[in-house]
Chains A and B, each alone.
Chain A
């Protein structure tokens, strides 16, 4: 196996914080969520495994040499199971094996009145793998429309939709204004009072 320090890109005498930062950085980089429908999924998973193994090994070495307990990070694992009893199990398998054009052919062969939400999702998947991002977004959104409760379709839809606004300055979701602070304080005060304490004495 290659040098675990090299895998994380840190020097041998890096301290624990540096190693953790490097690990977190790489885990973000290769995170399975980023590559969920991508043709590069396996490659990303492999890199993730390497990073995990390297991190575990460094931690093990360090724990063995000095007895200071490094709180072991629970490494990210990628458990993306395909729904087993799907109508299109064979097509899902083809997509998984990267046989995109075959999967596409089979999908096109499905008569129009039998095209349900899953069909649109899988079609979106093959289009995405080919790099046809505009049509993929369209198909994912139709899958969500037809079956709004399905988590898998929604995740794919959200991901591609977010990517379509890439580079715009996003307004931060945790806007905090005076009003929020006051109401939070009041809430905290109420909670404290419930438990018998007091946060703000005057109310």
Chain B
């Protein structure tokens, strides 16, 4: 379900790309520092967006420094672990640990056989990070646990359409995003932004897995349609979600990184849709 929220690089300025990369490294570093070395392998782009959003609203601007890391031992890279952005980075690392934990649990539900064993082994690596995360941010555990349970319930009920199916995860991100700010107006915007982004991620994932789910007889919100209908409908559904995200983003007053966020939510998400579409065309 991860990796759908990325910037569209051709439309980024070089300095914006540098910032984005630096934030990526920052999150990776702080995951290693606060959640254990293994948790770093679960890093992905969606959570870099969370970091971006948190820091775009924080009072103090993050400060960057050059550090070495074992993935890129040759060259020092910018990151901001040592500065006052610590609180935000720990929050995001914890979100990675907990969200990924439940994501893998969900995979185990869907793949009971051999690949299920693989996911079970993966899960072992997340037990430690998740425990640490719960100690620091217990509300995160509530959010994703509820979403996981509601998701199972929704997928087992008979009359599930795309809106209902996307609701648990969308709701989870809505609550997660609302934790970022204390300001009332900003929270209202963040809640809708989170809801729509969660909806996008869920539906994009469902659209991406459409054929696989049909073959394996797993739940998929589009499975009641024929392939052609699903293609049109999923596209429309995703596109209207992206449109609403952009309309909502216009109301968010950020302190910095506004252009990068705009890039991700407009070009980036549209590009994600395009990639999924072209994958489908190629497989035909």
- A residues near B (Cβ < 8 Å) are 29-30, 34-35, 38-40, 43-44, 47, 127, 131-135, 137, 160, 162-168
Contacts and interface: CB of A to CB of B under 8 A. Distances in A.
A40 B240 contact: no
B98 interface: no
A169 B94 CA distance: 40
Interface stretch (B48-56, B130-138, B189-197): B189-197
Contacts of B239: 163-168
Interface of B: 161-164, 167, 170, 185, 188-189, 192, 195-196, 199, 233, 236-237, 239-244, 247-248, 250-251, 270, 273
Contact of B163 (A30, A132, A160, A162): A132
Contacts of B248: 38, 40
18 contacts: A34-B250, A38-B247, A39-B192, A40-B251, A47-B251, A131-B192, A132-B163, A133-B240, A133-B244, A134-B162, A134-B163, A134-B236, A137-B240, A160-B240, A163-B239, A166-B240, A166-B270, A167-B239
Contacts of B243: 162-164, 166-167
A30 B250 contact: yes
A19 B23 CA distance: 34
Contacts of B233: 134
A164 B237 contact: yes
Nearest to A137: B240
Nearest to B253: A47
Query: What 4 pairs across the A-B complex have the smallest Cβ distances?
Result: A132-B163, A163-B243, A166-B243, A164-B236
Contacts of B195: 131
A179 to B, nearest CB: 33
A133 B241 CA distance: 7
A137 B233 CA distance: 11
A35 B195 CA distance: 17
A43 B237 contact: no
A153 B265 CA distance: 28
Given A127-B163, A131-B170, 9 more contacts: A35-B247, A39-B192, A40-B192, A131-B244, A134-B236, A134-B237, A165-B239, A166-B242, A166-B243
B207 to A, nearest CB: 13
Nearest to A136: B163
Contacts of A165: 236, 239
Contacts of A34: 247, 250
A202 B192 CA distance: 63
A134 B161 contact: yes
Contacts of A39: 188, 192
B13 to A, nearest CB: 18
A133 B163 contact: yes
Contact of B273 (A43, A160, A167): A167
A193 to B, nearest CB: 48
A165 B251 CA distance: 22
B241 A40 contact: no
Contacts of B162: 134
A164 B242 CA distance: 9
Contacts of A131: 170, 192, 195-196, 199, 244
